[in-house]
Amino acid sequence: MPKKIEAPDKSRRALLKCMVLGSAGGMLWTVSGGVPRAIGLGGEALAATSGDFAFVQISDTHIGFHGEANPDPNGTLQQALARIAEAPIRPAMMVHTGDVSHLSKPAEFDTAQQMLKTAGLETHFIPGEHDTLVDQGKPFFERFGKESTQGGWYSFDQGGVHFVALVNVLNLRPGGLGYLGPEQLEWLEDDLKGRSASTPIVVLAHMPLWSVAPEWGWGTDDAAQALLYLKRFGSVTVLNGHIHQVIQKVEGRITLRTALSTAFPQAAPGTPGASPGPLKVPADRLRSLLGVRQVDIVKDKASPAISDTRLGA
């Protein structure tokens, strides 16, 4: 259920900006002094112009979705891209944390690719389970996996940050959750080996790397092993998608955050009678179920500063 607005320090105008942003998803991240800081794409971004390096996370665009929860996912993606273009800080690049398409159809990938291109940003992709419905994700990887290894996962360095892009939507096992698999875990251990603990790490994975709601499949079976390899680093930020809402967990120096979708909301875990599918709400309530979270992950601080803005009554 939507909470009452909890932002007494924000002006009405800022809240309206948040509302617009919230309806379209998208999160701008800045890295200042090697520490990622999440900021909304609205007016509050002005307060964070000191960042050396900014990037955008977009997720769960579900191009091809045709359900009642959003009759126009192209339109809402367009709106999200417009927000990115208007951001006061020009991001250096964009990451897409999966479910680019709804049904892995070539036409859906085409549309998504053409639309995302208009952002004019280098974009790094990882697949969601909707992108790998056929041929173990071959159509997705052929188009969006130029930089990936054989298994689909990869890493790169930018702005002083080491990015690790993981695939946890393939070879899913009966009764299980998301799955990384021993081969990928071995690669991850090797990829991180020898890196200085002071290197800021950003991990991308579609399904949450912690058990948000196992009864809904919202988690990853073997995430613990991955987090074990990551825990020696001073700053680790895990960016997930999949659940179409912002939820955060902090484990030591690892902060795990899920992202909003640009397509449709999903119910909060534990909502009685709900299922993990698209949440159908009246059109005029759609935006009220979305929102933004601003988090500052500050070096040497035990916990990040978080401000949630959930919009609508």
Partner 1 sequence: MSKFSLSARRAGLALAIAGALGAGAGLSLRLLEPARSAPAATDHAAMGPGGGPSAARPAAAASDQVVIRDFDFGPKALTVAVGTKVIWTNRDDDPHTVTSEADPKLFSSPPLDTGDAFAFTFDKPGTYRYFCSIHPHMQGTIVVK
133 near partner 1 (CB under 8 A):
yes
Nearer to partner 1 by Cβ, of 73 and 145: the residue is 73
Q: What count of residues does the chain have?
A: 313
Q: How far is the CB of 274 from partner 1 (least distance, A)?
A: 8
Q: Which of 48, 126, 177, 239 binds partner 1 (CB under 8 A)?
A: 177
277 near partner 1 (CB under 8 A):
yes
135 near partner 1 (CB under 8 A):
no
275 near partner 1 (CB under 8 A):
yes
Terminal CA-CA length for the chain? 9
Nearer to partner 1 by Cβ, of 66 and 146: the residue is 66
CA dihedral for 195, 96, 274, 292, sign (positive or negative): positive
With CB under 8 A as the contact rule, which of the stretches 6-14, 22-30, 233-241, 271-279 interacts with partner 1?
271-279
Q: Which residues are 220's β-sheet partners?
A: 178
Q: Which of 57, 104, 155, 168 binds partner 1 (CB under 8 A)?
A: 104
Q: How far is the CB of 216 from partner 1 (least distance, A)?
A: 7
278 near partner 1 (CB under 8 A):
yes
Neighbours of 251 (CB within 10 A): 14
In order, the DSSP letters of 234-263 are: S-EEEEE-SSSS--EEEETTEEEEE---SS
Q: Which of 43, 160, 276, 312 binds partner 1 (CB under 8 A)?
A: 276
106 near partner 1 (CB under 8 A):
no
Q: How far is the CB of 194 from partner 1 (least distance, A)?
A: 35
92, amino acid identity: A
129 near partner 1 (CB under 8 A):
yes
71 near partner 1 (CB under 8 A):
no
As to burial, measured by CB atoms within 10 angstroms (0-12 exposed, 13-18 middle, 19+ buried), residue 108 is: buried
Nearer to partner 1 by Cβ, of 252 and 277: the residue is 277
Token pair, residue 76, equals 């809402």
The number of CA neighbours under 13 Å toward the Cβ of 49 is: 6
Contact indicator for 131, 142 with CB cutoff of 8 Å: no
Q: Which residues are 292's β-sheet partners?
A: 309
72 near partner 1 (CB under 8 A):
no
Q: How far is the CB of 175 from partner 1 (least distance, A)?
A: 6
Q: Cα separation of 229 and 251, whole Å?
A: 13
* 3-class secondary structure, 87: coil
Binding mask 185-214 for partner 1 (x = CB under 8 A): -----------------------------x
In order, the DSSP letters of 66-114 are: -STT-S-HHHHHHHHHHHHHH-SS--SEEEE-S--BSS--HHHHHHHHH
Q: Which of 139, 208, 217, 291 binds partner 1 (CB under 8 A)?
A: 217
Q: Closest by alpha carbon to 289, among 17, 29, 25?
A: 25
Binding site for partner 1 (CB under 8 A): 65-69, 102-104, 129-130, 133-134, 172-177, 214-217, 275-278, 280
